[in-house]
Structure 1
């Protein structure tokens, strides 16, 4: 069974919709008006509250948040980070991310609470 995901705001609804179409439990920040424009720490807190791993391109802000969670003894459902070097934001971005997340979600135990995973092609 795949891990439930919350896609950060910059990933949009298209990726979520395609993953849901492939049978995964995926929500997008942009589909929930209460989450739009929230600070990063609150987005991570909401993902943790919902038991969803957070998927984001915002590595520079979420790696330090992960460290703060660890230092404070707090827990989250996992972080999936997308590096723009591996996934350039060009015409193939959505398809590449959908394929890579679909593959990751099919791997048992690939997303573990309190762990950081860098998405691979």
Structure 2
């Protein structure tokens, strides 16, 4: 079963739409005007409230936020980090991310509450 995702602002609606087309429960920050331009901690809190793992390219800000959650005993619904080294932002970026997220979501238990993972190609 697919795990629900919230795509951070820099990932856009195209990736979400393609994943929805493949049968996954995915929404994008850019599709909800209330979420656009929110600080990272509020985006993560909203993802947790919705029970969605957050998918982001913003590794440098979300790893410390995960540490803050753990230190304070708070829980989130998971964080999927995308490295620009593994996924260069070129013409193949969208297809590569869609394919990797589709594969991840088809693996049982690959992402879940309080897990932090780097997306693999």
- State whether TM-score is above 0.5: yes
Q: Residue 32 of structure 1 aligns with which residue?
A: 32
Quote the residue 1:98 is aligned against. 98
Q: Deviations over 1:52-97 (max 9, x none)?
A: 0000000000000000000000000000000000000000000000
Q: CA deviation at 1:38?
A: 0.0
TM-score (normalised: structure 2): 1.00
TM-score of the superposed pair, with normalisation by structure 1: 1.00
- Alignment of 1:8 with 2:13, yes or no, is no
1:88 and 2:88 aligned: yes
Moved beyond 3 Å, runs of 4+? none
CA distance in 2, matches of 1:4, 1:102: 12
Q: Return the alpha-carbon distance in structure 1 between the equivalents of residues 29 and 94 of structure 2.
A: 16
What's the CA shift for 1:9? 0.0
1:113 corresponds in structure 2 to 113
Partner of 2:63: 63
Unaligned runs of 5+ in 1: none
- 2:75 is matched with which residue? 75
Q: RMSD over aligned Cα, in angstroms? A: 0.3
**How far apart, CA to CA, are the structure 2 residues paired with 1:111 and 1:3?**
7
2:54 corresponds in structure 1 to 54
In the TM superposition, residue 112 of structure 1 has moved relative to its aligned partner by 1.7
